[in-house]
Structure 1
């Protein structure tokens, strides 16, 4: 499975179109289950015929509750001759006769033909996989079904419990980038990390092991920093805007942090924007680089109960800098994190205005 127009973790484009069942279908309304979006071109194509037959052979899997299938046709004859038929629940067909949807998804070739492929989207309509349709064609749908078999089931309906207003977004960094960041830290080591506080009208940096114990390594490798920046921009910022209507345009700090159990790594409850030197910060990102390789080390938001938060490797917990939060103690192993702050141009003005209040470290 490889990326073509998009990469795993990016949001799939939204669109409006005509389908076999609706004159105007809003694609974004299908969020909440896994989506198989198959750009097969024309049902008259023998390759497409085989793919669609194999999908029908797995008809029970597409139930609209867990998974749904959308086939994208660019051939008007598919509609006129009724070569394909929607089957509710689970299987529907999109009429893309002007090829606008195909173009949006990068499947339209310069000569007007379609690069046949299947996208798998998660319940938030973010790309999970891109599977080219190629020979041996007999393997396409079986490979697709094996991939679907490995996906966790969506949660059953249940009553909500009190929780913090945070986002948990998986697949921001791929595993290889997480490993590269950890290696970068291990090769250079981390410096003792203090925190900012206000003293006599100045923002000062202090160290107090009772409040915080962590070591940080600033990323000075430009290629590595750009890799982090591009993934935050393309995979995380759209989710932030969707949830909070905030357009982040700037990112503060490119660093890898390590909470080490041997030092009792932790960060007691605090807020990230309570000094003049930090007042510009709008959202904090806690991006987990090695989930499951340590014990403890959760995010906790005391104002919203005793729920502990984390994310899978490469995933992030994103929250307002004004929320009280803590990093609980790591009791075994090392917890590696990528920890930027996000803000916008208006907050950038505040940052510039407050530079004179920051007491520089010797």
Structure 2
């Protein structure tokens, strides 16, 4: 059977993936619910043609009165206004976004301007949780909290997450001796530091190190495996032990990989506190799966892997175990709390 074409954009219903709206921050920068710095959070957007009318004002006041509770629930609140009104610096109790061409307001209001407001609540995975149309009964902030609060509590709950990220964990890919060997290579080889950027590695046959300033963080230095001997050693473990498991779990044949890396995390993280995806830039669009193998899991605290579009669960696999996930998933390595973490990293791909 063929997949049906994407239907025309209509008002988003609960369960739908939220539409990508043309919204602009006061600074002039675009606002995108699916960007790395916004994904993985609860969002509430209040759409109003104007704040002059009492109906729209009442909706805004409802959320303003519940602001502390919403903040505790880690809900990001935004008021969407026409560009002209937003640019006049309209006073509001929470951040204002400009509807660049009016398309977002027309979509949410059914194409008809009015003096009321409508509300869209969006989950961390980008799916619509709740839509309140103009004239909806009851307190809009209370309705949003009733929907969001139980989900937020589940995300924070300890133990097995209620919503699992689609990851694969494969134990014993590397032995303890293998892990110590790779940590030794990090310590003893490749002491030349090169500037960040893949173009620095073309043609290299000797290992080197590079600081990885992902969104400004400063706690990570990668050792790039360029020496054929080490590359062959890692292949001898990953190819027979890991690649068949990826084929079985994801029905995808891995035939190639980028240069392996041994990452070291230590000290203060810094930078922007959010995740990233591994295949968003043109020169890495070929990536399909990311692999992390912790090399010394019992010797540090922190640096857990988190997938905020799914839950607050923190993944820390045992020494020698691999965790595999799609490069399209938003993920974040949390800050170090103690010690120094070593991990083998790989980016895998194939013919498609």
TM-score of Structure 1 vs Structure 2, range by shorter chain: 0.3 to 0.5
TM-score relative to the length of structure 1: 0.46
TM-score for both structures, normalised by structure 2: 0.47
